[in-house]
Chain A
Amino acid sequence: MSIGIIFLLLLGFVLLEIPVGFALIAASLVYIGMDGVFPASVVASRMPPGLESFPFLALPLFVFVGTVLSSGGIARRIFDFANCMVGHTRGGLGHVNVLASIIFAGMSGVAQADAAGLGRIEIEEMKRAGYPTRIATAITAASSVIGPIIPPSVIMVVYAVLANVPLSDLFLAGIVPGLLMGASLMIAIAIMARTGRIDVPLQPRKPARERWQAFVKAAPALSAPALLIAGLLSGVATPTELGALTAVYATVLGFAQGELTPRRLWDCAVQTVLTTGVLAFLIAAAAPFLWALAMGDTVSWFARQIEGISHNPILFLLTINLILLVAGALIETTVILLIVVPVLGPAMVMNGIDPIHAAMVIIVNLMIGALTPPFGVLLFVMMDITKLSLAAMSRAILPFYLPLLAVLLLMTFVPALSTAVPAWMASTR
């Protein structure tokens, strides 16, 4: 029986408004039942082992860190610091917004934490300074995709386990593309400010004393990314263990700053349980689905389909970019990751593309997809905060796709942007 049927089943169940996790299970159950080769009980037996992986533990750990950063007042201090540094420039708070996201990304592993936690502060401050809500929202949404590109990153954790690549290499590979995305957004903001598309009075430069104070307050958070990367490079701990250490660090910091209370810490744990219950459950639910795909030899089927374009790695990557961008606009990021990576990853490596390069192209692609209507998770988070309509927000974000897509193209053509840091790291010992 054709393996394509399982995708049709999935589509059908999703349209019935069954949550994606249950739709994946239902599709596997019906497909394996119809196929008749295996007992349907295989679906139940495959689900929990899909989670049996030490790297996956990093998922709840970094989700927890994200919640603590917001509840513990750390996001606020990061914003204040960024404001003191670049707030006085033309398009000031736009740059502040991006810079704060870059710093925040060094501790947070999920884009939603950036958009919802830090984003609330950013939008509030920008509105107060006279920025139109749609521009504030657009910059916040666009800059939040940097979160999972700069390490740590939950999406990289999932990718590493699914595609069997070292998580530490992926973390290191994200640094340059993440900074490039930040830089490209800042260039776009600078151009918009010069051409008058962002027209807000300049802020006065903050006095040196105030800048110093903001730096001191933000210093522990600023040093966290450096500590994390040092930890990765020096081998104090694996990425999973770094997740736990970052969680402890953020918690201690929150308490030391007096903004975290036991009550709030408990809420952070509760939110972590809920997010894990959604994301990790999706991973478990995808396991029997992927098992059925593997039994149906989907990887070699897919490899045959793309044989024609596979001789030219660049053309191949461009095609994949196009497919993923369209898929990313229609389907939730984690879901694509779970279904596409196990098929696409091996096919790309078979075609001679470096696994780390392939991973970064796919991940950046999916993050841009999370920003694209009609199904962009980050847009939904923003709609929740600002009450803007999906249409208004999509229009406002339009100019920011350009810099992000430019970075994606650059990354596609220049593998070194992704592979140089892990390779350099490998050569230093």
Chain B
Amino acid sequence: MRFFSWTLVVLGRAELVAASLLVLAMICAVSVEVYYRYVLGSSLYWVEEGATIAFIWVTFLGAALASKANRHITITSLGGIFRAGRSRALWALGGQGAIVVVAAVIAYHSFGYTTLQARTATVSLPVNIPRSWMFAWPLCLGMVSIALTHLYYFMDNVISLFAPGVRPAPRPLLEI
């Protein structure tokens, strides 16, 4: 369990650094494009496509990160029915398990799309990137990371069921 959480935290830090750099790069690229068009009078037409790819990566890396920081929007209105305790923890357990399954299924299917999407490529970038690197791969990698994260929460929850002082909500892996 210790090693599992350590691995996920390291993975989360890597996602955080990569995605933050992409955000800064996106801002710079789009600004430079405006400068080129307005001041220099010629357009950098690859920026639109390049920034879109960066955005898609930021989204799925960010989603994986949001799982590790426990930030995804959850509606907890019904949870109030259960008093804190075993039944509440079991309810939460079901939710965590479902996320693991959903993320794993999507990861599996998106991997299946990598070959199909690789048939067409980006058009305006200086190098032609297969469309799978725009669509299937960021989704697949993000979902693997999410599945692992919620598997950890699930296991942590199971352990807490048998420990004194039940805590139903996952303790976030990362405090950001």
A–B contact with Cβ pairs below 8 Å: the answer is yes
Q: Are B38 and A281 in contact (CB under 8 A)?
A: no
Q: Are A18 and B98 in contact (CB under 8 A)?
A: yes
Is B71 interfacial (CB-CB < 8 Å)? yes
Q: Are A244 and B30 in contact (CB under 8 A)?
A: yes
Is B20 interfacial (CB-CB < 8 Å)? yes
Q: Digitize B36-63: 1 where CB-to-A-CB distance is under 8 Å, 0 elsewhere.
A: 0010000000001001100110111111
Shortest C-beta distance, B76 to chain A (Å), equals 6
Q: 8 nearest interchain CB pairs?
A: A277-B62, A19-B72, A44-B109, A244-B30, A281-B63, A48-B135, A269-B20, A41-B109
Instruction: Add 11 more A-B contacts to A22-B102, A25-B106, A270-B20 (CB < 8 A).
Output: A41-B113, A57-B52, A241-B34, A248-B27, A270-B176, A272-B20, A277-B60, A277-B63, A278-B63, A278-B71, A281-B59
Partner of B72, one of A16, A21, A60: A21
Q: In the complex, A17 Cα to B91 Cα: how many Å? A: 8
Q: Digitize A215-247: 1 where CB-to-B-CB distance is under 8 Å, 0 elsewhere.
A: 000000000000000000000110011011101
Q: Are A273 and B62 in contact (CB under 8 A)?
A: yes
Q: Are A276 and B58 in contact (CB under 8 A)?
A: yes
Q: Are B31 and A48 in contact (CB under 8 A)?
A: no
A20-B72, A52-B52 known; A278-B139 Cβ under 8 A: no
Q: 9 interchain pairs (CB within 8 A)?
A: A19-B74, A48-B135, A57-B51, A270-B176, A274-B62, A274-B66, A278-B72, A281-B59, A284-B59
Q: Are B98 and A26 in contact (CB under 8 A)?
A: yes
Is A61 interfacial (CB-CB < 8 Å)? yes
Q: In the complex, A41 Cα to B136 Cα: how many Å? A: 12
Which residues of chain A have a CB within 8 Å of any CB of chain B? Answer: 13-22, 25-26, 29, 40-41, 43-45, 47-49, 51-54, 56-57, 60-61, 64, 236-237, 240-241, 243-245, 247-248, 266, 269-278, 280-282, 284, 331-332, 334-335, 374-375
Q: Are A53 and B52 in contact (CB under 8 A)?
A: yes
Q: Are B16 and A270 in contact (CB under 8 A)?
A: yes
- Residues of chain A within 8 A of B52, CB atoms compared: 51-54, 57
Find the B residue at minimum CB distance from A240. B30
Partner of A22, one of B51, B58, B103: B103
Q: How many A-B residue pairs have CB under 8 A?
A: 194
Q: In the complex, A254 Cα to B48 Cα: how many Å? A: 27
Q: Are B91 and A273 in contact (CB under 8 A)?
A: no
Q: In the complex, A243 Cα to B103 Cα: how many Å? A: 32
Is B128 interfacial (CB-CB < 8 Å)? no
Most interface-central of B26, B30, B65, B112 (chain A CB within 10 A): B30
Where chain A touches its partner, the secondary structure class is helix
Q: In the complex, A73 Cα to B30 Cα: how many Å? A: 25
Q: Are A17 and B74 in contact (CB under 8 A)?
A: yes
A17-B76, A22-B103 known; A269-B24 Cβ under 8 A: yes
Q: Which of B118-150 contact A (CB under 8 A)?
A: 134-136, 138-139
Q: In the complex, A280 Cα to B57 Cα: how many Å? A: 11
Is B158 interfacial (CB-CB < 8 Å)? no
Is B85 interfacial (CB-CB < 8 Å)? no
Most interface-central of B16, B103, B105, B176 (chain A CB within 10 A): B105
Q: In the complex, A20 Cα to B24 Cα: how many Å? A: 28
A25-B106, A44-B113, A273-B19 known; A16-B95 Cβ under 8 A: yes
Q: In the complex, A56 Cα to B51 Cα: how many Å? A: 10
Shortest C-beta distance, A274 to chain B (Å), equals 6
Q: In the complex, A297 Cα to B94 Cα: how many Å? A: 33
Q: In the complex, A29 Cα to B108 Cα: how many Å? A: 13
Partner of B62, one of A43, A64, A280, A332: A280
Q: Are A281 and B62 in contact (CB under 8 A)?
A: yes
Partner of A277, one of B33, B59, B76, B112: B59
Partner of B20, one of A40, A266, A374: A266
- Residues of chain B within 8 A of A45, CB atoms compared: 109-110, 113, 135-136
- Residues of chain A within 8 A of B63, CB atoms compared: 21, 277-278, 281
A48-B139, A60-B58 known; A17-B66 Cβ under 8 A: no
Q: In the complex, A247 Cα to B31 Cα: how many Å? A: 9
Most interface-central of B56, B75, B106, B112 (chain A CB within 10 A): B75
Q: In the complex, A67 Cα to B55 Cα: how many Å? A: 18
- Residues of chain B within 8 A of A13, CB atoms compared: 98
Q: Are B30 and A61 in contact (CB under 8 A)?
A: yes
Find the A residue at minimum CB distance from B59. A280
- Residues of chain A within 8 A of B103, CB atoms compared: 22
Q: Are A54 and B134 in contact (CB under 8 A)?
A: no
- Residues of chain B within 8 A of A269, CB atoms compared: 20-21, 23-24
Q: Are A280 and B55 in contact (CB under 8 A)?
A: yes
- Residues of chain B within 8 A of A275, CB atoms compared: 62
A13-B98, A18-B95 known; A281-B23 Cβ under 8 A: no
- Residues of chain B within 8 A of A43, CB atoms compared: 106, 109
Is B78 interfacial (CB-CB < 8 Å)? yes
Q: In the complex, A270 Cα to B71 Cα: how many Å? A: 13
A47-B139, A270-B16 known; A335-B34 Cβ under 8 A: no
Q: Digitize B4-33: 1 where CB-to-A-CB distance is under 8 Å, 0 elsewhere.
A: 000000000000100111011011001101
